Amino acid sequence: MDEKIEKIKKTETAPKVIKNIYSKKEIQEFMNLYEKLPVTTHNKKQNVIKKRWLQGYDDGLEKIFCERLGKEIGDFKMDNLKDENGKDIYGLIQESYAPIGLHVDAGFEIKNQIYKQSLIPLTPVGSTVIFKNRYYGGSTSFTQDPEELKKKNLSYGQNKRSAEHLKLYGDKPFDKKIHEKYLKHEDINNLKGLEVEIIYEWEVGSMLIFDRSHLHCSSSVIEGKKIGIATFTRK
């Protein structure tokens, strides 16, 4: 396990934002794709509609996406969930009406070497908070909510729940100004010991790339709804 973490650490870099990587026409094509794809889940508690980016709905977009991501991060394999036929999906397109809480997308398959994830905003208003703190123990939602922490019987692709982060990063109180501006949906005590690496202000046409070991969450800045594509890779 330690050997795998060392390999992951060797590939880690600072988050980066690539501006104007997609044209207005391509963003519209992504929106058209979103309309065509079937709903995977409508999580009423999180107030989010998730659609898997299934293969075969737009071959041209699949090619453009893989080529442009490869140009930025080099060789990669997709590490998203698979469809019913065992085919890789390209990612998740999420329509969110409320911010998603603190979590890490560190994978569901222990043997895989996690790499980078990307976020492509399809709507202009929103922001994503990436923390300096990292975690290598699989995809996890971090919470102090006793009801959430009781959830053990999870279905395929669901994050485990944990409060382990509160023991890992020290007791330093979280920055009150950042909390007030961006993270009002999170209990400030759930952010103890965390430090912000970057606050990515959504900009249509840009793409955020960051390591999958980074803790992160949506900000509370939202106007009605926001739509974005999240993708996950491995080595």
- Using DSSP's 3-state secondary structure scheme, residue 117 falls into strand
Q: Is the pLDDT score of 21 beyond 80? A: yes
The phi-psi region of residue 137 (left if phi > 0; otherwise alpha if psi is between -120 and 50; otherwise beta) is alpha
> What are the structure tokens assigned to 209, written together?
């790339």
Q: Whose CA is closest to 178, among 189, 163, 188, 193?
A: 188
Distances from the Cα of 76 to the Cα of 59, 69, 210, 216, 228, angstroms: 19, 9, 14, 22, 21
Q: What confidence category does residue 103 fall into, taking pLDDT thresholds of 50, 70 and 90?
A: very high
Q: Is the pLDDT score of 1 beyond 70? A: no
Q: Average the pLDDT over each of 11-25, 102-116, 152-166 and give the range with the smallest value.
A: 152-166
Q: Determine the structural domain holding residue 86 and report its residue range.
A: 2-234
From CA 90, how far away is CA 65, in angstroms rounded? 9
Q: What percentage of the chain carries pLDDT values higher than 70?
A: 97
> What are the structure tokens assigned to 39, written together?
């709903």
Cβ proximity of 128 and 216 under 8 Å: yes
Q: Average the pLDDT over each of 143-157, 163-177, 221-235 and give the range with the smallest value.
A: 143-157
> What are the structure tokens assigned to 75, written together?
């060789």
Total structural domains in the chain? 1
Q: Residue 101: what residue type?
A: G
pLDDT in tens, 208-234: 999 999 999 999 999 889 999 999 999
Q: What confidence category does residue 134 fall into, taking pLDDT thresholds of 50, 70 and 90?
A: very high
Cβ proximity of 230 and 92 under 8 Å: yes
Quote the pLDDT of residue 154. 78
> What are the structure tokens assigned to 157, written together?
């692709």
| Mean pLDDT within 148-159 | 82
| Mean pLDDT within 15-36 | 97
**71 versus 157: which is more confidently predicted?**
71
Q: Average the pLDDT over each of 81-85, 136-140, 159-163 and give the range with the smallest value.
A: 81-85
> What are the structure tokens assigned to 81, written together?
């969930």
Quote the pLDDT of residue 2. 84
Alpha-carbon torsion 14, 75, 114, 58, what sign?
A: positive
Per-residue DSSP letter, 105? -
- Mean pLDDT for all residues in the chain: 93
From CA 62, how far away is CA 222, in angstroms rounded? 28
Q: Residue 90: what residue type?
A: Y
Q: What CATH number does residue 29 fall under?
A: 2.60.120.590
Q: Average the pLDDT over each of 9-13, 136-140, 148-152 and give the range with the smallest value.
A: 148-152
From CA 233, how far away is CA 1, in angstroms rounded? 19
